[in-house]
Amino acid sequence: MIPPSLAPLNVYLVAESLAPIQQAQLLLVAGFVMLGWVLARRQIKSRRQLNQNARVAKKAVKAIRNYKDPAVPLSGAPVETQRWQAAMFDLQRELKADLDTRIVIVQTLLQQVDQRIDRLENLQRTLRQPNQKSTS
């Protein structure tokens, strides 16, 4: 009996003792067996990798679903940052109020301008009508 460490050598010795056609067929079969083994290992490895990627993706999706957005942004920030944020919120409110006031003023002025334009057009019509009657 040949020890397992010499098994590849044994296949080579058996292949040498056979006729050349039988030797070619034996090497062809050995090549197909090796190719099948490599492809099977590759397939197993890719499935393992795919399963691992799927597990990682599921964990990420679960973490995203379970994430609760804090009620106040930067609530876990240092005190200085929170003070700065509060100051920015106050400034934002003041600027928004100022802009809203200016928008209302501009809208009011536009309405007054539209009214005056209508009034001038009416005056022009009334001035044209008596002139048309006197010329006829």
Whole-number pLDDT of residue 70: 65
- Average pLDDT score, the chain: 85
Give CA–CA dist 89/83, Å, rounded.
10
Predicted TM-score (pTM) above 0.85: no
Give CA–CA dist 84/19, Å, rounded.
90
Give CA–CA dist 92/99, Å, rounded.
10
For residues 66-87, give the mean pLDDT. 81
Which has the higher per-residue pLDDT, 19 or 29?
A: 29
Which has the higher per-residue pLDDT, 116 or 133?
A: 116
Whole-number pLDDT of residue 23: 82
Counting every residue written for the chain, the total comes to 136
Whole-number pLDDT of residue 68: 72
Residue 67 pLDDT level (bands cut at 50, 70, 90): confident
